[in-house]
Chains A and B, each alone.
Chain A
Amino acid sequence: MKKLKSNQGITLPFTVVVMFFVALLIAALVGYVSLSYQLSTRQIRLAEHKIILENKMYDYIKNIDDIGDLNSFPSEADFTPFKYYIQVFKNEGNLIILIIELKEQINYPNVVLKAELEFTLENGIISYQIKKWGFN
C-alpha cells in the first residue's frame, strides 16, 4: 500500500509568499498614513494661512490712519507684505479689500480673504464697520 507523506516544515515558496504579503501590508499601512498625513497637513496649512491672512488684513486696516477724507486710503504700495498681494476696490462708499496669498507651491490653492468695510467720517473721526468678511 502506498503511503502518502507530507513535507515537514515550511517550504521556501510558502515563506516567500508570506513575506510578500507582510511587506504588502506594511507598504499599505505606510501609504495610508502618509496620504492621511499629507491631507491633514494640507488642511492645517490652509487653516494656518487663513489666520495669517486675517492678521495681515487687520494690519492693513491698522495702517488706515490720519485720513482727511475717504478718498485717500493707503495704496497697495504703502503696504508691503511678504508673499501677499492686495487689491483694493471701492463700492458705493464701502471699501473692498482682497488679500491674496501668492502660490508657494505648485498645486496648492491660493487663499483669498475678502473684506468689505464700511467707513464713515464724522467730525473728523474715521470709523469702520465690517460688512463682509470671508474666504473664497
Chain B
Amino acid sequence: MKIAKEYKRGFTLTEVIVSIAIVSIVILAVSSTFLSIRRIEKQKIARENIVSEIRNIYNIFSSEPDDFHDLIQGIYPKNTFIEEENETIFFITYNSLFQPSETDYYTYTMKCKYSIEEDEQEEHLTLEYTLVIELPDKFQSYIKEEALTRTIKVWGQS
C-alpha cells in the first residue's frame, strides 16, 4: 500500500518566534561587537596621538628650551597662552581623537606649563627650564604621570 507523504507548507508560529529570537540574538551580538570595536579603535587612535603629541612637544622643548615659546607658537598657531608670574601656560586644542584642531571647533584642551627658574651663583647663571603637560581629564589615564614632566638644566649662562 502506498503511503502518501504530506509536507507541511510554510512555518508554524513557534518556528517563526524561535527564528526571530535567534536572528535578534545574532544581530545584537554583531552590533554590540561592532560598537565595542569602534570604541576600542577610537581609544587606540587617541592614545597613539597623545603619546605622539607629547613626544613632539618634548622634542621641541629639548632642542631649544629657551625658544620654546616661539617654536610652539609657530607649530600650533591656534593655541592661546597666558603669562603668569613664574610660568607661561599654553592651551592647545584637540578633537576627540586627540588630533590638533585646525578649526575653532574643538573638544579638548591640553595645557603646557612652561617655566624658567634662574639660579645665580658666583656670577654664573644656571637656568632650569620645566615643561609640565596637563592632559584633559578624560585622557589622564592614557599615559603615566612620569611622562608628563621634563626639566632641563643649562649651566654656564652669563
Contacts and interface: CB of A to CB of B under 8 A. Distances in A.
Contact of A44 (B7, B51, B122): B51
A44 B153 contact: no
A66 B155 CA distance: 10
A102 interface: no
A88 interface: no
Secondary structure at the A interface, as helix, strand, loop or mixed, is helix
B26 A22 contact: yes
B69 interface: no
Given A9-B15, A26-B33, A126-B156, A48 B8 contact: no
A59 B55 contact: no
Interface string B55-86: 10010001000000000000000000000000
Contact of A30 (B33, B128, B144): B33
A78 to B, nearest CB: 15
B44 A54 contact: no
Contacts, number: 91
Contacts of A30: 33, 37
Contacts of A15: 19, 22
Contacts of B143: 48
Contacts of A56: 146
B128 A62 contact: yes
Interface in B10-25: 10-11, 15, 19, 22
Contacts of B152: 58, 61-62
B107 interface: no
16 contacts: A9-B8, A9-B15, A15-B19, A26-B33, A36-B44, A40-B44, A41-B47, A44-B44, A47-B55, A48-B143, A52-B144, A55-B149, A122-B156, A125-B155, A125-B156, A126-B156
Interface of B: 7-11, 15, 19, 22, 26, 29-30, 33, 37, 40-41, 44, 47-48, 51-52, 54-55, 58, 62, 122, 124, 128, 143-144, 146-147, 149-156, 158
Interface of A: 5, 7-10, 15, 19, 22, 26, 29-30, 33, 36-37, 40-41, 43-44, 47-48, 50-52, 54-56, 58-59, 61-62, 65, 122, 124-128
